[in-house]
Chain A
Amino acid sequence: MKRLSTVLSLALAMTIVTPAVTHFQDVLAQDSVAAKVDQPRQIQITILGMSCPFCAYGVQQKLEKLDGVAELEVVLETGIATLKLEDDADFSNELLEKTVVEAGFEVSKIARNFESDYPDFERKPAGE
């Protein structure tokens, strides 16, 4: 009898807690989706080889010219170029890499904050 009451208590607790947890997860997920929708669509390219602003100016010039880039920020300290995109604009990894290489530099990583036909990309440094 004691065992039965323990099992029933556990079942009751599960019945109450599970929907609450599920609901909480849904809320979190919805918040996350809302946050993702609120954020501008952007691509981050990690670029290797950039030194001073004068040397890296070519990267900025070439990325800015891509049709669909609303805003561009190049941070030398992290090597990251952040492309904020217009509407549904997107670029293939090949195009982004070609653009950076033509400026005289090298791509190590491409990441998007939105669903894309192109997968995120990361090149392991030589020797790893």
Chain B
Amino acid sequence: MRSSAIIEEFLGACPARQRLALTLIMGLMLLMPLAPSQLTAQALPFHTETAITTGFEQGAARTFSAFFGRDGLRLDGAAVPDPMQRDIDVFVQPFAVLPYAITPMWTTRIVAPFVHKSMDFTPPAGTRQSYSTSGIGDVLVDTKWVFLSRNKLKGTTRLGIEGGVRIPVGKTGALLPGGAVAPRPLQVGSGYWSFPFKALFTLTRDRLGFLANAGYQVNASDDDFTAGDVFSYDAALGFRLAPGAYNTIRDKSLMVYLELNGTISERDDLSGLSNPNSGGHLVFLSPDLQWIPTPWLLFEASVQFPVVQDLNGTQLEYGTRFQVGTRVRFSSF
């Protein structure tokens, strides 16, 4: 199938307004790397993974606070009344450490998130109730290998792969006010092992950066439950607002990014039966800001707007996601 046909098919599934917005964004993202400006280095967007490594004997740490919610039922894309009037809020604080690089182009990473989930709801013929749980979520251990690197002055082009395992250490037994075990999406942990894999592309030229990822996550079973596998795609454009030209490495930098992050999830499976109210296509669009006051420290913020929510069956709608965070560089040895 020709690429234009694939894009047509992809866009065809979206409502007209979203289709127009996505067409403009995708067009912009495809054209920007061709802009005749001096393109470098805006290679660390908030959500899209970079193919730039920390280097041998160098490490980095990252953490951010993410707030988002889900409320309001959707049935095949249209809003429907939620008899329980559920209102879910989630707070996630991942702590990521890149403790060691096996080679200059092969790094390792551990991510352990603190997760807090809460829900207000009205049970049938009952009064408004609240539920909440918190704790350390599932831990991700992965590795990134950059196998192609073409460098030039003030720029680089790199290709890499990233893969690992998410270990289900987060608790899964939190109870609802009535005493029943809360559904999986309301638990801190998933309960199942998963194996994410991504292909990474990064291009930087002077003030501009372009990054793209394509990934797939295989989910293992837990008892009779199997979460649907997830295909993901990401694209990010970065532009350095200041300085126009660097004098030294100590110059303060301000970057702006525009990211498109999508997931297509298969339906979950319970005891051999597919759950019709699970999985679907979800796309977030996010402008990000990044401030580098000194070469070893970075502050960042991102707001993710859900622009496509093509969810299967009846599911709660995703809200806007707010995120602020920081990254730190250090020597491993």
Contacts and interface: CB of A to CB of B under 8 A. Distances in A.
Contacts of A49: 149, 151-152, 155-156
Given A54-B44, A54-B295, A56-B295, A104 B105 contact: yes
A52 B248 contact: no
B240 to A, nearest CB: 7
A75 interface: yes
A79 B154 CA distance: 7
Interface of chain B: mostly helix, strand, loop or mixed: loop
A14 B52 CA distance: 66
B261 interface: no
Given A48-B152, A105-B151, A53 B331 contact: no
B223 to A, nearest CB: 44
Interface residues of A, number: 32
Contacts of B66: none
Contact of B246 (A59, A76, A125): A76
A58 B329 contact: yes
Give the interface size class of chain B: 35 or more
A38 interface: no
A26 interface: no
Nearest to B327: A54
A79 B26 CA distance: 32
Nearest to B333: A65
Interface in A8-59: 46, 48-59
A94 to B, nearest CB: 16
Interface in A59-81: 59-62, 65, 73-79
A106 interface: yes
B249 A76 contact: yes
A85 interface: no
A103 interface: yes
Nearest to B244: A77
B52 A55 contact: yes
Contact of A54 (B155, B245, B248, B298): B298
Interface of B: 40-44, 52-58, 104-105, 149, 151-156, 204, 209, 240, 245-251, 253, 255, 292, 294-298, 327, 329, 331
12 contacts: A51-B154, A52-B240, A53-B246, A54-B44, A57-B249, A57-B295, A57-B329, A60-B295, A73-B248, A76-B246, A76-B248, A104-B149
**Top 10 A-B residue pairs of the complex, sorted by shortest distance between their CB atoms:** A51-B41, A49-B151, A58-B55, A48-B151, A76-B246, A53-B295, A52-B41, A102-B56, A104-B55, A103-B55
Interface of A: 46, 48-62, 65, 73-79, 101-106, 108, 125
